[in-house]
Amino acid sequence: MASAATDTVRVWLVERTYSDDEQNLIILTYATTDGERYFRKERALTSFTDVRDTTAAVDVESDNLGAVDDPDLREQYAAEARRMAEVHDPDDVI
């Protein structure tokens, strides 16, 4: 869903991975329901705040989205983004 006034796009959580290195990061990947664009968010496992809600969807500026070039990954992201959109409200905490 894009908004002409603010040029934002709604993306849905499709993947959550943990970094393999010593940075202690959780990598959240959100994607559009067509799977063509994605947004990556990194979150530290250690934080000075207790609030670390991960929501089902976020609205991001279209300039912050990357292209998904791999057809298989695009299909995977699209399927998961559509599933999330069907079963969750955007602000549901996951």
* In the predicted structure, residue 5 carries a pLDDT above the cut 70: no
58 belongs to a structural domain: yes
Q: How confident is the model at residue 6 (pLDDT cuts 50, 70, 90)?
A: low
21 belongs to a structural domain: yes
Domain limits for position 11: 2-87
- SS3 state at 81: helix
38 belongs to a structural domain: yes
39 belongs to a structural domain: yes
Q: Of 51, 58, 6, give the one whose Cα is nearest residue 28.
A: 58
94 belongs to a structural domain: no
62 belongs to a structural domain: yes
Residues 27-36 have a mean pLDDT of 97
Q: What whole-number distance in Å separates Cα of residue 87 and Cα of residue 32?
A: 15
State the pLDDT at residue 51.
Answer: 64
State the pLDDT at residue 20.
Answer: 74
Question: pLDDT tens digits, residue range 45-94?
Answer: 766 666 678 999 999 999 999 999 999 999 999 999 999 999 999 999 98
Q: What whole-number distance in Å separates Cα of residue 90 and Cα of residue 7?
A: 18
92 belongs to a structural domain: no
- Total domains present in the chain: 1
Give pTM, 2 decimals: 0.84
* In the predicted structure, residue 3 carries a pLDDT above the cut 60: no
